[in-house]
Amino acid sequence: MANSIPKPVQDLIQAFTRLPGIGPKTAQRLAMHLLQSPENMSDSLSGAIKNLKISTMLCRKCWHLTMQSPCAICDDQYREHNVICVVEHPADLIALEKTGTYKGLYHVLHGSLSPIDGIGPDDLKIAELMARAKEPNGGPAIEEVILATNPTMEGEATASYLSGLLKPLGVRTTRIARGLPSGADIEYADDLTLMRAMEGRHEF
C-alpha cells in the first residue's frame, strides 16, 4: 500500500507522524490536504517552520522562548522582580500568563526530574535557577519561589528537590494548590483552575 504513495508524500507523512498527537491516519490526511491546497499554503507553512528555529531563542534569564534576550517578561519593569514562578515547559508559562493574574517573573526548567528516563538535575535549568535565587543580578532579592511544576510524580519530585535547595537560602518556597487534577498538565488546565491553583498556593 505504501508503494501507491509517491516518495515525497511518504516523507511528509513520516515527518508528521513524529509530532505529538498525530497518528498515521491524521498524518496522511494532513499531507493530502497540503497537496490539494494552493501553493502559498504549503509555502507559508514551510516558511513558518524554517523560521521557528532561526528567529527564536531562549531567554538567558528565565529560559522562556523569545525573539530577544532578556524576554519581554523579564524586561517588564511593572512586574514583580522578587517573585519567580518555576514551570517545567514554555507551554506552562504561556498557560499561566494567559490567566493574567500573575505579575512576577518565571523560570522554565525545560523538563522535570525523571531518573527512569535518565533526566537528572544537570539536564534541567536548575543551576540557573539557583544562581538567580542567590544573585538577583542587579534586581531585588528573590523573596518567593512558586513551584508550579506539574502534579505528576516527576513534577512533585522536582518541586521537593527544588524546595530542598531553596529553603537553606532563606527564600520563601510555595507550591501551587492542588486544584489541578493529579497527573494533569498545567498546559491543558483551564484559566479558572490555574488562577485558583496560583491563589491557593501554600508553604512548601
> What does the binding site for Zn ion look like in residue numbers (CB under 5 A)?
59, 61-62, 70-71, 74
Instruction: Provide the minimum distance between the beta carbon of 70 and Zn ion in the complex, in angstroms, as a whole number.
Output: 5
Residue with the shortest CB distance to Zn ion: 59
Dihedrals phi, psi of 109, to nearest 5 degrees = -80, -25
Angle at 13 between CA 8 and CA 15, to 5 degrees: 95
Run of H or E residues at 84: strand 80-87
CA diameter of the chain: 65
Beta carbon nearer to Zn ion, 50 or 103 = 103
Beta carbon nearer to Zn ion, 61 or 81 = 61
Beta carbon nearer to Zn ion, 12 or 109 = 109
Buried b (16+ CB within 10 A) or exposed e, 79-100: bebebbbbbbbbebbebbbebe
Beta carbon nearer to Zn ion, 5 or 94 = 94
d(CA 64, CA 43): 28
Selection from 178, 203, 184, 201 nearest residue 95 by Cα: 184
Instruction: Provide the minimum distance between the beta carbon of 106 and Zn ion in the complex, in angstroms, as a whole number.
Output: 7
Instruction: Provide the minimum distance between the beta carbon of 95 and Zn ion in the complex, in angstroms, as a whole number.
Output: 16
Instruction: Provide the minimum distance between the beta carbon of 66 and Zn ion in the complex, in angstroms, as a whole number.
Output: 6
Instruction: Provide the minimum distance between the beta carbon of 55 and Zn ion in the complex, in angstroms, as a whole number.
Output: 16
Beta carbon nearer to Zn ion, 29 or 79 = 79
